[in-house]
Amino acid sequence: MKVLVTGGGGFLGRAIVERCVLREGWDVRAASRSRYPELEALGVESVTCDLGDAQAVRAAVRGCELVIHTAALTGVWGARADFVRTNVLGTRHVLAACRAEGIARLVYTSSPSVCFDGTDHHRAQNDLPYAARFLCAYPETKAIAEREVLEANGSELATCALRPHLVFGPRDPHLVPRLLDRARKGRLAIVGSGDNEVSLTFVENAAAAHTDAARALVPGAPHAGQAYFIGQEEPVQLWRWINGLLETTGHRPVRRRLPARVAYGAGGLLEFCWKHLKLDGEPPLTRFVAAQLASSHSYDLEPARRDFGYTERVDLATATARTVDALQAAARA
C-alpha cells in the first residue's frame, strides 16, 4: 500500500513512517518542510511540502491510497493566523487533495486539547464534547480541523482522528527536554494539589495506534467518522512521574508549589505583557499551561481497543526507562 505521511520528519511523524515501513511493509512517501536523509535511507520517498500550498499538497497526495496527516503547527504561543494557516487551511488542502485524487482513507492526528476546558477529565472516553472556549490558538485550530476531517467521512473517503496525549520517548524534542531545561533553571513548580492524574503516550504506541486505525479504516467501519484518545494503559500522577524522571536523570525533584489560581493569574498577566510589550519568545507561563499542569486529564483506551483493535505495545515502565536511557546516551555523546 502506498502511504503519505505528512509531517514525516517530525517526532511522531518519523515514528509513524518507521512503523509503516519496518512493521507494516508499506510503501511510504513523507511530506515535510525539509528533506530527511535518514528517512530516505529507509527507502522512503521524501518530498518537501508547504501545507499552505494547495497544489503542493495535491502533488504529495497523488498516487497514494492512504494519508496519515500528522503535520501541524504546535505550541502554546504565537500568532493565531500562523496556526490557522497550517492547522486549518493545511488540513482543508489535504482533504481537498484526497477527494481530487480519489484517496480512500485518511487518519488525522489530533490532540486531546480540543476537549480541554480547564476541568478534570478522569479516564474520559471519546464522547467528550469540544471545549466551549480555548486558551490558545493551537487547540482551537486543531478542533476546527478535526471537525472538518470527521465531517468529511463518507462512502468515498473514510476518515478518523486520533488524539495521542503528551507523546514522549527517545528523540523527543519537546516534552521531556523542556521539563529538564526548566528544572535546570529552577523554573518548575508543582501547580495545584500535585495529585492530578494524567495519561502519557510513548511515541511507539502512538505510531502503532495510527497504523492500527489505518489498517481497519473502510467506509462504515466502527471508527470511521470518529475521534479517539490514545495514551498508556496506566495513567500517572503527573508530578510524581516528573520528579521520578528528574531524579533518574540527576536533577533535583520539584518541591516548590504554586496554587492553581495564582498560576493561572500569573499566566494571564504574562500573556498580556508579551502581547502588548511585543516581547520575544513565549511567556514562561500561560493560562493554558497553568491549567494543564494543575488538572487531571486521563483517558480510557477501551473505545480504541473495541473499534479498531489498538493495543499498547510498550508499557509505561519500559517506555520511561527507554526514554531515560536515550537522554543519558545523548548527554554522554
Residues with catalytic function:
138
Pairing mode, if any, of strands 2-6 and 27-32? parallel
Q: Do 73 and 30 touch, CB atoms closer than 8 A?
A: no
Could you tell me which residues are beta bridge partners of residue 162? 109, 228
Report residue 286: phi and psi, to 5°.
-125, 170
**Hey, what's the cell of 142?**
486543531
Burial 141-158 (b: 16+ CB within 10 A, else e): bbbbbbebbbebbeeebb
